[in-house]
Amino acid sequence: MKVGSDHNNIHRKVTEKELSTWLKQNVIPHVENRRIWAFYGDLGAGKTTLIKTLCALLGIDKNEVNSPTFALVNTYCTNEREIHHFDFYRIEDEEEAYDIGYDEYFYGTGLCLIEWPEKIESLLPEDTVKVKISPDEDSDCRHYEIQYE
Ligand code: ATP
Ligand code: MG
């Protein structure tokens, strides 16, 4: 982390049902203009669920939002913007991100939502919003920790 940089943090335990309202009221207002979002969490943590909820708030049909399987990226379009949904789980080498021209996306104009960002950590722009998702031991909800500069 850069010395003197402003590091902000949002931390909250949220059920799946509460996700949309929480994002709308307590997250999006703080990070609305950020283009790159990285979603960290183990298999089944809730990365795709969070991305679906976010996309729904931006006007994309939830059924349209699915983790890319054969390709590394799916693109959804609203009237206002393009949303690029990445899943790097299967890549073995950062070279594969170069092959799809990751920089055109990361340094373009659309919103980039990234599952398994740890696979391409060194390629993430500095102002990436980092969302860490972990399970709760006692109840059916998730802990969300969001870091942004
Ligand atoms: P993968 O690494 O396999 O892509 P993922 O992190 O994308 O997994 P999801 O597919 O989004 O995980 O979610 C896995 C399960 O967790 C789903 O059954 C979903 O309903 C549930 N889930 C997601 N968010 C929450 C939440 N906040 N509270 C309770 N359950 C949740
Ligand atoms: Mg997923």
What confidence score (pLDDT) does residue 5 get? 53
Would 72 be classed as within a structural domain? Answer: yes
50 CA to middle of ligand 1, Å? Answer: 8
Ligand 1 closest atom vs CA 45? 6
Any domain includes 97: yes
Measure Cα distances from 113 to 3, 32, 137 in Å: 27, 13, 27
Provide the domain count of the chain: 1
Q: Does residue 1 belong to any structural domain of this protein?
A: no
Evaluate whether residue 68 is within a structural domain.
yes
Q: Mean pLDDT over all residues of the chain?
A: 94
Q: Which of 11, 13, 16 to mutate to test the pocket of ligand 1 (most atoms within 8 A of CB)?
A: 16
Q: Which of 40, 20, 24 is nearest to 124 (CA)?
A: 40
Specify if 87 maps to a domain: yes
The answer, yes or no, to whether residue 2 has pLDDT greater than 50, is no
Whether the per-residue pLDDT at 101 is higher than 90: the answer is yes
* Nearest bound ligand to the CA of residue 49: 1
Ligand 1 centroid–CA 29 distance in Å is: 24
Pairing mode of beta strands 36-40, 129-135: parallel
Average pLDDT over residues 1-7: 54
Among protein residues, the one whose CA lies closest to atom 16 of ligand 1? 46
Whole-structure pTM value: 0.95
Quick check: is 3 in a domain? no
Indicate whether 71 belongs to any domain: yes
What is the 107 CA–ligand 2 centroid distance (Å)? Answer: 23
Encode pLDDT of 105-141 as tens digits.
Answer: 999 999 999 999 999 999 999 999 999 999 999 999 9
* pLDDT at 6 (0 to 100): 66
- Domain assignment of residue 107, yes or no: yes
| Domain that residue 27 falls in | 8-148
Q: Check residue 8 and give its pLDDT.
A: 93
Q: Which residues contact 89 (CB under 8 A, 6 or more apart)?
A: 115, 116, 119
CATH number, position 43: 3.40.50.300
Ligand 1 pocket test, pick from 12, 21, 49 with the greatest ligand atom count within 8 Å of Cβ, gives 49
Which residue's CA is minimally distant from atom 9 of ligand 1?
46
Q: What is the pLDDT of residue 68?
A: 87
**What is residue 56's DSSP assignment?**
H
